[in-house]
Structure 1
Amino acid sequence: MSIKVELDALDAALGDFGYAYLLTTGTDAKPHAVAVTPALVDGVFRIGEPGRRTGANAQVHPIVSLVYPPATPGGYSLIVDGEAELAGSELRVRPTSGVLHRPATAEHPATNPGCEADCRPLAN
C-alpha cells in the first residue's frame, strides 16, 4: 500500500521518522546502503560528509533513494527518491518524489473488506 507524499509535505512527514538508509549504486551496478540522519533544509536533504564509497557512487550515479524505516511494526516506511550532489564535503539530495509505503498483507486491515481510516487507493 502506497500513499504519495507531495514534496512540500515532506517536512511534516519526517516528524514520524528518525534515521534513513541512503541507497546508492556504483559503477559495478551493486547497491550500497548506509544509515544516515539527513536534515531537510530549504527543500534539500543535507547528509553531511559521505563515506568514500557513498560519495563515489553519488558522483557516478546521482539518482539515489532515502528509505526511512517504520517507527513501529506494520507502520509506514517513507521512501524518497532524489538527485544527489557533493557540495564541498557535504552530500545533498534534492527530492524528486516521495511515498509512504507498507506491505499489503492479510494481517493488515487495509487488505480486509472493512478498510481502516488509512486505506487510500492510489489513482491510476
Structure 2
Amino acid sequence: MSVKVDLDKLADALADFSFGYLITVGDDYRAHTVAVEPVLTEGVFEVGQMGSGTRRNADEHPDVTVIWPPADPGGYTLIVDGRAVVTDDRVTVTPTKAILHRRATSESAATSPDGLHDCLPLKE
C-alpha cells in the first residue's frame, strides 16, 4: 500500500539540505549512485541531466531513491523513494515515500520499537 507523501512537509524539509544522491539499480540490481541537486516543482523532483547509465537504469527499473545527507553530524538524513521518468537526457522523480531518519540518541525521541531510530515520516 502506498502512503501519500505530504508535499508541504517535504518542501519544508528540503530547506535544510543542499544536495543529494540519486540511487538507481541496473539489471544486476547493483546500486548506481550519482550526486544530484533535485528541485521539487508541483510534486515532482526535476533531477536534471543524467548520464546514459543512470538514464538506462531509471528507465528499466523506475523505482529509485534520493538521499540527502545531514548537514551536521547527528542530523537527519532525508530519504525519498519514488518513481522515475526518463525523457531524453533528463530524469524526474515522483515521490512515493519520504522520511527524515537518524539514529536515536539519548537526547532524541526513539521512534522505532527497538529504540534505535528517530524517524519522522513525511506523510499526510
Please report how far the alpha carbon of residue 121 of structure 1 lies from its aligned counterpart in structure 2 after TM superposition. Answer: 8.2
Change (3 A) 1:121 1:52: closer
Q: Identify the residue that residue 24 of structure 1 maps to in structure 2.
A: 24
1:13 is matched with which residue?
13
- CA–CA separation in structure 2 for the residues paired with 1:64 and 1:82: 6
Please state how far the C-alpha of 1:103 moved relative to its aligned partner: 1.4
Bigger Rg, structure 1 or 2: 1
> What does 1:1-124 align with in structure 2 at a 5 Å threshold?
6-104=6-104, 107-110=105-108
| Higher share of residues assigned helix | 1
Amino acid at match of 2:108: A
Question: Cα offset for 1:90?
Answer: 1.5
Q: Cα–Cα, structure 1 residues 70 and 56, in superposed 2: closer, same or farther, change >3 Å?
A: same
Distance in 1 (CA, whole Å) between partners of 2:73 and 2:58 is: 31
- Structure 2 runs not aligned, ≥5 long: 111-117
Taking only the aligned residue pairs, the percentage that are identical comes to 45
Q: 8 Å contact 2:100–2:120 — kept in the other structure?
A: no
RMSD: 2.1
**TM-score relative to the length of structure 2:** 0.80
Q: Which runs of 4+ in 1 moved over 3 A?
A: 119-122
Greater share of strand residues, 1 or 2? 2
